[in-house]
Amino acid sequence: MPTMNVNLTPEMAEFVSDELNSGDYASASELVRDALRALRRDRDIEREKIEILRRKLDVGIGQADRRDFSARSVEEIAANVLSEDDE
C-alpha cells in the first residue's frame, strides 16, 4: 500500500488522537481511510442529487417549451404542498 505524509492542523491532530483514544480506530491510517471512504460516499451522493435535479429541470423546461402550465395559482400550489406536509 502506498505511503503518504499528511500535514494536519493542531486541531485536526487532536481530533485524530481523540478518535484513536476512543478505541474506534486502531491506527491513524485506518481513521484516514474511513474518512476518505465517507468523503467519496458524500461526493457520490451529491453527484446523484445533481443528476436528479438536472432530470427534473429537463422535465420542467420541456413542459415550459410545450406551454404545459398548471391552471392553479402559486398560492393554491403552496397550500397543497403545505397540506401534504401535514399528513
Give the model confidence (pLDDT) of 6-54 as tens digits. 999 999 999 999 999 999 999 999 999 999 999 999 999 999 999 999 9
Question: Which of the 8 DSSP states describes residue 67?
Answer: T
pLDDT above 70 (res 78)? yes
Residue 70 binned pLDDT confidence (cut-offs 50, 70, 90): confident
Residue 87 has pLDDT above 70, yes or no: no
Torsion, Cα 10 16 18 21, to 10 degrees, reads: -140
Q: Is the pLDDT of residue 86 over 80?
A: no
